[in-house]
Chains A and B, each alone.
Chain A
Amino acid sequence: MEVKASVHETRNLGVRCAEVTLTRHDEEFELIAVKNDFDFITARLPIAHLAASKSLYEQGFHRYETQYSLRCSLTPLDNDIDEDSSVAELNYPDALRALRQHGFSIKSDRLALLGTFRPEVLLRRFCFWLGDEVRKGAIFREVQRRGVPVGFFLGREVSGAPHVAFSGVYDDCFNPTAGRSIETHMLKWASSFSRAIDVTVSSNNLSALRLHLQFGFNIRDAKEIFLWTNLERNLAIDI
């Protein structure tokens, strides 16, 4: 079992956050000390680890999602694979502006499901998180169909491999092919310098999971995510 303070999440949420990582070997463990030191704890464990799951439930944790690690082998894609769509690179303020203007639902986010943090705090967390990725070199690529913004993906190259921190369809987009356009451009970008791409998709976002599988992704691993907090539900937490 590994326990570490989550510096970024503490900054993003304004409360003391920690991450606990459990392995198959962790069956009996005690988290009282961690719960004394932190307000919000995220625990990750292998799927179907019933002993650990039971122990977490008994210690006040609740399961919020399964995170699937997916991989897709890549081949160079034709430039004209989707003639109706295009990509525009937006800087950080313009990316925030686009997300604000078109809306981006984070309802499937486990913290939104938890209900402890106000939407404003979750939005602020997203801004920080987006900012972290941009500082590390990620580019916010907005996908447009016939000139109309439909969504985005946020990607950067890490040691020659593509890393996509986030992708999604804008809330005001009702084009049923938007997800496919975004996925196509994401794979096109990744295939320009890599032979494979790894992404993580939440079980809370079934449409995204289904889309990735349709595009040839395979499930490589899965982790259960449990949360614990000593904060009241819908507590007004200011950063």
Chain B
Amino acid sequence: MTEPRCARLLNVDSNETYLRAFASVFDIELSEVVEDLAYQAIDLWDSVGHMELMSTLEDLFSIEIDIDDIIDFSSVAVGREILRRYGVPI
């Protein structure tokens, strides 16, 4: 499977790119991005933050996330499963 373009540019693996997206959008430390980090668990992961996260992940992995998956993307762990379905190797 081809590694997404942005991940190569960042020279980090896809999983770290995935986790860094949360840290960047929600302005938290990478160490705080744990698997059970969930929607509304932190202030910035609210309705708008959620959409910003979706856009960021789409840019990073060159994918378009379906609206049903946007709705179901409730945590780091669930999001990982969703992105795998789009061929993102995380």
Residues on A close to B: CB < 8 A?
11, 91-93, 96-97, 100, 120, 123-124, 127-128, 130-132, 134-135, 238-239
Asked whether, in the complex, the Cβ of B47 is within 8 Å of the Cβ of A134, the reply is yes
Q: How far is the CA of A123 from the CA of B74 in the complex (A)?
A: 19
Contacts of A92 in B (CB 8 A): 46-47, 50
Q: How far is the CA of A236 from the CA of B89 in the complex (A)?
A: 26
Asked whether, in the complex, the Cβ of A100 is within 8 Å of the Cβ of B67, the reply is yes
Report, nearest first, the 5 A-B pairs whose CB atoms are least far apart.
A131-B47, A92-B47, A134-B47, A131-B48, A96-B71
Could you say which of B40, B48, B68, B70 has the most chain A C-beta atoms within 10 Å of its C-beta? B48
B64 sits at the interface (CB 8 A): yes
- Name the residue on B nearest A130 (C-beta): B47
- Name the residue on A nearest B55 (C-beta): A239
Asked whether, in the complex, the Cβ of A135 is within 8 Å of the Cβ of B58, the reply is no
Contacts of A124 in B (CB 8 A): 51, 67
Interface contacts beyond A92-B47, A93-B74, A134-B47: sample of 18 additional A-B pairs, CB < 8 Å, sorted by A = A11-B55, A91-B40, A93-B71, A100-B68, A100-B71, A120-B67, A124-B67, A127-B67, A130-B47, A131-B48, A131-B50, A132-B47, A132-B48, A135-B46, A135-B47, A135-B48, A238-B64, A239-B55
Interface size range on B against A? 10 to 19
Chain A contact residues: helix, strand, loop or mixed: helix
- A-B CB contact pairs (8 Å), 8 listed: A92-B47, A96-B71, A100-B67, A100-B71, A127-B67, A130-B47, A131-B50, A239-B58
B39 sits at the interface (CB 8 A): yes
Q: How far is the CA of A124 from the CA of B74 in the complex (A)?
A: 17
- Name the residue on B nearest A12 (C-beta): B51
Q: How far is the CA of A124 from the CA of B47 in the complex (A)?
A: 12
- Name the residue on A nearest B39 (C-beta): A93
Contacts of B71 in A (CB 8 A): 93, 96-97, 100
- Cβ-neighbour of B58 out of A128, A134, A238 (below 8 A): A238
